[in-house]
Each structure stands twice: as C-alpha cells, then as structure tokens.
Structure 1
C-alpha cells in the first residue's frame, strides 16, 4: 500500500490501511501465499552521480539539444530531433517484516535522430541508439555520449540511405552492432525469462513465455558463447539499484551459462512458487502501481572476438546496426527486426551501404547460430528507458550489457 502524500499523518494512514487490508485478506479462503525469505535490512543506498543533472542549467541543456539539431539541419536533413531525460527518485521502503530502506536513484541520458526524405522513401539515423542511451548516473552520462561529435555524420548517413541499394532477400551471415544486440537480448531473452510470464501470471501485455520450468538447467538456449547474467549491481547501468521494491538486496544471477538456460528473473512470491532460492527483480514505476517482475541489467558476458575480426572472417554477409522496428510473438520466440542501416560484407571487407535491412528468426535457433562475439573492450551497458509491461501499464528502466556478434545463415530482407 502506498500514498503520494508525504506528510507523517498520511504515511501513518497508509500503514493502517495496508494492515487492515492484509488482515481482512488473510481470512478469505484461497491458496496460501508463500514468500521467499530474505534478510531484513535497515539501510540506505544511492546510485553513483558525479554531476547532479538537476544542477545543470536549463540554458546549457537547451544549448546542447538545439545545437545538435541545428547541425543536422545544416547538414541537409529536413527533420531532426534531440532530447535528454532525467529521473531523480527517492524511495522509503518500510515493511511489516522490519525493513527500513532509504534509496536514492538518479538516472540520466540523451539521444538524437534525423530523417531524410526522398521520393517514396524516408530514412532515419540515430545516435547513440534509436531512443537515446541512459544509465544510473548524473549529467556525466550525457557528456560522455558526446552528441555534437556525431550529429553531422548521422545526417549524412540518413541522406546516403535514400539512394543506397535495398537490403537483398535471402539467407546469409549477419553481424549485429551492440545497440541492436541489446534489443535482441531484451525482447528474446529478457522478457522470456521473467518468471511471472513463465508461470502464466502475467499475460495481459505482450503475452507469456515459451520457456518451461521443467527444462531449467537443461534447455539449450544458444551456442556456448551465450552467457547471460541479470546483474543489478553494475555501476552506471540503467537497471541497477541497491534493493528491489520488495526489499530484496541487489545480487547478480546467471540466466544462460555456456548456452544452457539456468536462471530466471523472479520476485519473492514467484520464486517460492517455483522452488527457487533467489528473487530481487520486482519493481514498480511509482507509488500507485503494484511491483512486478522486471528486467534488471540482463546482458551478455564478453566473448573472444572483435567487430573487426568478425568482418574479416565473413565471406558473405551483412552488418546491421541501430534498431528501426521490432516484432515478436506472444511467447517471445519468433521475431523480426528492422535496422536503420546495413553494410554489405564481401570477402572479409565492408562494402556498400544497404537500406532497410531486416532479419528474422526463432529465438533458440538464432542464438545457437552465434559463432563470434566481441570482447570486453566493445561491451557497453545500453539503457532502455521505456520497457512496457502490465495492465495498467508500467514503464520500466532496464539495462543490457551487449557487444557486436555474428550469426550464421540468417534470413534477411523480409519485408512482410
């Protein structure tokens, strides 16, 4: 039970109402509700922040976004947009078990995009990602993104795409950039391993999951290069926190290890129902919403390769980056993604720019085809600030460590 009024009397009333509801509910016949036991904490936690984003003047913020849009316009595109977003969230979590947790999370990020318009075609280019990039950090996150250094380039690429060849249809090797990999992880792994979906508790928004708990620890999710963790302790990543909204302390856990599915995202109730000994992935987007299972920082561990070595090792393929469209079925298995830009790869070299690149696949088969994965130097914590789930809908902030990867024999150029 929560309330938006922060005075002492309102807080006391909220506690009294929550207690009354709990007592009344306890006498209603129904299945017992088991909760995973967790340590009771009295603690405070704050995300790292080198430069308070609320202390940066509106003039400086405005100069940044207006300046980069002006640069893109001068470079010849008719439509350009830039934005920054800041969240400063303070929560005080109190439970009847004895929790007293004060948590302060500051999140920040920025992005830009432009549109080039030709006869019968519109092309988009974005930086650093199609909706910007975000982290649990201060304004230093925005400064590091360095929008001005990339504004002219993406405007030129958007215009070049108008006359670039169409992505061919067929089957070929595909190399995905890190930003597109982050969405691939988000849609085909992150949502699929949410335990409330697996149990069938959450089906109202984009479906359930193809995974079956009976296969946990045995199912092949992908190739041996596929090692995915859920880690809310990563400094600066958007899905990081000290405690979730059930008071469970943040802790990493494996989701996929050497290609085998070994873990899920869970809350105290779903973990108890499934017989698991970990939780810590329950959050809400505000005081007036019930917490639910959400992604934390769900992403890949580094591989042994590099983008350069992937291109050199590919005789025939396409390099795609920056998401433009996405579609996935209600079990989180069959997907199709479109990217903003592609490049033809021939005999180990990057060649022609391609427009409207798309690829499609089925989750476990697609991940099984991953045979090259970039290393730690190309691993980046991408932030997704608009993950939707639940009814009434809630918006979650999730992080996705990702890097470029190569997939073999992928169907590309699908337009329907």
Structure 2
C-alpha cells in the first residue's frame, strides 16, 4: 500500500476542531457589509493613544501601554445541503494598562471616538494600580524594552477572506458536502472560521505598532454508517488553521493547484481531503481492532502537533511553572529546579523544540506582541535538555534574563494581556529522511494521522492520545487500517522514545483557534510544526467499549 493511497495529499497541513463554537470575547453580531468599514485612521489612533500615555505619565506611571483593537470574525456552518448559520461579529475598543508604584492597573473602554474616553480609562487604570500597590508584597520588575517608533505589520500575501462574498463561501462548503455524500458519506458537517485582528499598540517606550492579522480555518467531519451493524465511524479534516487569507483554499473541485509552492504557501485541497475522508470513514467499520501492547509509533504532523501543544507548549509556560496560573491546563512538572540544573533530560537528543513568533503561515505570527516586544524565536529544549521557558516582560527576570521574548497576548481590547503560548514546534531532522524511509525500519508499528481525543494530567505529565487514522506497520510496510487505538505515556518517557524525525521537506504546521487560558478565560490561536517522527516502544491500548 502506498502512503498516498490513504493520506491522499501528502502535503496536507495538520489540525482538527478543538471546540464546537467560536466565541469572540466582547463581540457583537454585525451585518456583513460593515466589514468594509476600514475603522479609525492610524493618525487618529496615535492621537488617542498619546492622550492616554500622557495622562498615565502625569499619574506617576513608570510604564503604560494602550491597545486600540478592532476584531472581526466570521464563521459559517453547513450540514449536507443546508446552511446552519452565518455569524459575523465585530468588537472595537481600547484597553489601557499602567504600572504605578510597582503595581499593574487595567481598564478598558468601548467608546474610543474621542480623547476624553481614553483619558477616563487611563485614570481608572492608574487608580486601580495605586490601590493594588497598597497590598502588593513584591513590586513588578519590568524588563527594559526599546521603542520602535511608528511601525506596521500585516499577515503576508493575504487575500482578505472577509471581503469574499458570503454566498461564495457558502457555495464552497456545500460543494464540499456534496463531494462527501457522493463518495459514500452518510452525514457531513463543514465549517469556515475567519479572523481579522486590527490591532494598534502604543507604549511609553516609544513603540506605535499598527498590525493587521488574518487567520483562516476550513474544516469538516464526515460520518459513515455500517447499515448491517448500525455502527458509525467518522473522519475529520486534516486541514490546519493558518495565518493566511483566502488563498489558502482550493475553491473549485476541478481546478489544479499551480505555481511554485513551499510548505508555507501551498493551497489546501479540501475536495481531495473530503473525498478521502468519506472513503476512509467507511473503511474504518471493517478495520481490525488493535491488539494492545508496545509499538513503534510513526506520527504524522497532523497528529503530533497536539501532543507537542499539551506536553511541551503548556508545560513550558513560565506562569504555570511558577504556579501563578492553573486554569484549564494546570501547572507544570517542568519546574525551575530542573531548568537550573542545566541537565534535565526532557527527551532524547533528537528532541529540539523551539518557540517562534515569526514563523510564516503560523497562527501566532505577528510583528510585535501585545506589550510591544518584537517577535522572535528561541529554544525551549535543545538536544533533549530543557533550556528555557515562555515568559513576559514582568516574568523574564526570574530566569536571570532581561531580553523579552514576545509571549504576551490578549484576545480582545477588553482583556488584559498576559503570558500566552508562542508557536512551539519540533525541529525537523537535519539528515535527509523521507517518511517512507522512516517507516522502512519499523518491524511492529502504527502510523497515526490526525488528532483525536486526548487526556493529560494537571502537571502536563501523564497522558493519553488518540487520532483520526491508524495504519498497521509490519516489517517496514503499511498493511491495513486499524481502529480503537490510543497510546499512553508520560512526557519524559514519550519524548525520550523519539529516535528519528523526517527532514524539512515534510515539515508542516498544525494548531488551534481555541487555546483557552486564564480567569476570566481567554482564547488564543497557536500553531505547532513538525515533520513526521518515530517513537519506539510506546504503550498502545484498545479503546473499544465492550458491553
């Protein structure tokens, strides 16, 4: 069996739906035509920001920043031949953060049409900071940051998906559904999630950053029913949410994807994916149920991104490491003493994991983060050793470091910014190694594609992961499809079992629009890249429920 026979499009990006709804914090439903409104001119935003910054200085602030944001979202949902919903939201306002007497204060305002409202919000933030300072035991220590002046950044090469008529996008999804049904699926749901963040940041450091961020996520789930048994099987899309525009989508089933492509600019062929999904969901019904035991696992990037996210991404967030944050994903086993030792063995020498806010096509790519730090890239795990964390300007001194990383984000102008996960990825292998060559040495293994159900403890240590597709590998050859597969391990055990990673040619991004954190909760978008990787001797269980 050839790998292309079951994955269909070897260059498909990763990803899967992690939430059933798309909530835009502070957003209100709007008529689609309002998306054509360009918002405030940058010169007006600078004048408003300066009014707030000057007020903050007069209130004794040693630092202040203002974020003026316009957040546009559109999400379209269809099922079979019907449109279930078209939702457009728009949120517009400003958030002001000030540091007075060593303590933070924050306030937000929805009406930003005049300086008076910005000044009022700044005064409220300053008063909150002064009140906090009276009870604070340790003053905030903020890493120094240069000012960049008036700068701008936009997601590269974007065809603005929000400017594409809704009818055209609906027709696309209904055509996708038709392809699924014509190829044997009994049911199909398809979605298109679109985000545009128009963010203006200004600070007393002297940075005025105007940014236009675009993200897109096409996805679907097909269901096939075995009429003889009544058992149903599903397969979700292997698409990835990406930091791109409408150019990401192949929008006609008869068109071919042409032009020079790289792993960052290639189009996602949703028609090829949904056709394969319909066939594969039917094949699952007759697939062999896995026999529990130890297997060598070959993990496709469309699966591995989620394991990276849960076992490394969250585990290296410094606020979780310190116990300052535990909401939604717990704290972390990767404590400071392990980092300070300089020899904590997070994984094998093949494990090189980095954070990167600059990666083209990623969900987290920006020019500057939400506290004015220029986007950068840094190592988290080097040759298997834990070497760094993800931190904000008021945390970085804990690591004896005064170089900010750019790990601050807020999901709305009305939310206070705090430490959020960067794009955290596994470095591809440096020696040429194709996926077929990776599989060739496997005697008893399973090839896993796509992400599925998962569970991980509140220390980011003990876990279990499923997937979308499972193929048995025997003596270096893919034999047949399996079902009822999940693997169990702890983080160290798993990453120490990594023995090989394919090279850059296979490197792909996965990710999610819905990474939750904080109290009150916020949601952010984040990508995780890898090439296909092999893990030896991992414990696999059978998840079938027997009645």
- TM-score normalised by L of structure 1: 0.95
Aligned positions of 1:14-413 closer than 5 A:
14-42=121-149, 43-118=151-226, 119=229, 121-128=231-238, 132-143=239-250, 144-216=267-339, 217-277=342-402, 278-303=404-429, 304=431, 305-413=433-541
Match of 1:5 in 2: 111
Distance 1:383 1:206 in 2: 16
Q: Per-residue deviation at 1:120?
A: 5.8
Check conservation: 1:174, 1:410, Cα contact below 8 A: yes
Distance 2:231 2:435 in 1: 30
Q: Per-residue deviation at 1:29?
A: 4.7
Match of 2:254 in 1: none
Q: Per-residue deviation at 1:27?
A: 4.2
Check conservation: 1:134, 1:141, Cα contact below 8 A: no
Structure 1 residue ranges without an equivalent (≥5): none
Q: Per-residue deviation at 1:232?
A: 0.5
Q: Per-residue deviation at 1:109?
A: 2.3
Indicate the larger mover: 165-174 or 98-107. Answer: 98-107
Distance of aligned partners of 1:414 and 1:389 in 2 relative to their CA distance in 1, 3 Å threshold: farther
Check conservation: 2:287, 2:482, Cα contact below 8 A: yes
Distance 2:308 2:147 in 1: 33
Indicate the larger mover: 180-189 or 376-385. Answer: 376-385
Indicate the larger mover: 9-18 or 135-144. Answer: 9-18
Give the secondary structure class of the aligned counterpart of 2:345.
coil
Indicate the larger mover: 91-100 or 295-304. Answer: 91-100
Check conservation: 2:146, 2:206, Cα contact below 8 A: no
Give the secondary structure class of the aligned counterpart of 1:35.
coil
Distance of aligned partners of 1:106 and 1:29 in 2 relative to their CA distance in 1, 3 Å threshold: closer
- TM-score normalised by L of structure 2: 0.73
Check conservation: 1:340, 1:356, Cα contact below 8 A: no
The structure with the largest alpha-carbon Rg is 2
Total equivalences in the alignment: 413
Q: Per-residue deviation at 1:414?
A: 4.2
Measured against aligned partners, the alpha-carbon deviations of 1:121-164 in whole angstroms (never above 9, x if no partner) come to 33211222xxx412221111223111012222110100110111
Distance 1:349 1:249 in 2: 47
CA RMSD of aligned residues (A): 1.6
Check conservation: 1:306, 1:373, Cα contact below 8 A: no
Distance 1:96 1:121 in 2: 62
Distance 2:275 2:218 in 1: 17
Q: Per-residue deviation at 1:383?
A: 2.8
Distance of aligned partners of 1:120 and 1:269 in 2 relative to their CA distance in 1, 3 Å threshold: farther
Distance 1:383 1:44 in 2: 25
